[in-house]
Amino acid sequence: MIETLRQTAVEAKARLAEVEDLDELAELDVEFLGKKSAVTLAKRQLGSLDPDERRTAGREVNEIRAEIETAVESARERLAQAARVLRIEAERLDLTEFRGKARRGSLHLVTQSRDRLEDVFVGMGFTVAEGPEVESAWYNFEALNIPEWHPARGSFDTIFVDLGEPEEVMLRSHTSPVQIRTMENQKPPIYIVAPGRTFRTDTADATHLPAFNQIEGLVVDRGITMGDLAGTIDEFVHTFFGGDVKSRLRPSYFPFTEPSAEFDISRADGTWLELGGCGMVHPNVLRNCGIDPDEWQGFAFGFGIDRLAVMRHELDDIRELVNNDVRFLRQF
**Chain residues in the site for ligand DAH (CB under 6 A):** 174, 176, 216, 254, 257, 277-279, 300-302
Closest distance of CB 131 from ligand DAH, Å: 13
125 torsion bin: left (phi>0), alpha (psi -120 to 50), beta (else):
left
CA atoms within 13 A on the CB side of 289: 29
Instruction: Give whichever of 195 and 277 is closer to ligand DAH, judged by the CB atom.
Output: 277
Element (H, E) at 6: helix 2-18
Residue of 119, 117, 116, 158 whose CA lies nearest to 136: 158
Residues in contact with 205: Cβ distance below 8 Å, sequence separation at least 6, in sequence order: 319
Q: How near is the Cβ of 317 to ligand DAH at its closest, in Å?
A: 21
Q: Which is nearer to ligand DAH, 13 or 153 (CB)?
A: 153
Name the minimum Å distance from CB 256 to ligand DAH.
6
- The smaller minimum CB distance to ligand DAH, of residues 32 and 263, is found at 263
Residues listed for the chain:
332
Looking at the Cβ atoms of 174 and 307, the one nearer to ligand DAH is 174
* Distance of alpha carbon 109 from alpha carbon 47, whole angstroms: 92
Query: By C-alpha distance, which of 284, 314, 32 is closest to 183?
Result: 284
Closer residue to ligand DAH, CB minimum distance, 37 or 145: 145
Cα separation, 182 vs 191, in Å, equals: 10
Residues 6 or more apart whose CB falls under 8 angstroms from that of 112 comprise 106, 309, 332
User: CB 98 → ligand DAH: shortest distance, Å?
Assistant: 44
Task: Quote the least distance from Cβ 269 to ligand DAH, whole Å.
Answer: 26
Return the number of the residue (37 or 198) whose C-beta is nearest ligand DAH.
Answer: 198
DSSP of 266-299: E-TTS-EEEEEEEEEEPHHHHHHTT--TTT-EEE
> Alpha-carbon distance 319 to 209, whole Å?
7
* Minimum gap (Å) between residue 294 Cβ and ligand DAH: 21
- Give yes or no for a contact between 276 and 302, defined as CB atoms under 8 angstroms apart: yes
Beta strands across the sheet bearing 247-254: 127-128, 190-199, 211-221, 297-304, 272-281, 257-266, 247-254
Cβ of residue 94: shortest distance to ligand DAH, in angstroms? 50
* Longest CA pairwise span in the chain (Å): 128
Of residues 176 and 232, the one with the C-beta less far from ligand DAH: 176
Nearer to ligand DAH, 5 or 277 (CB): 277
CB of 238 to ligand DAH, least distance (A): 20
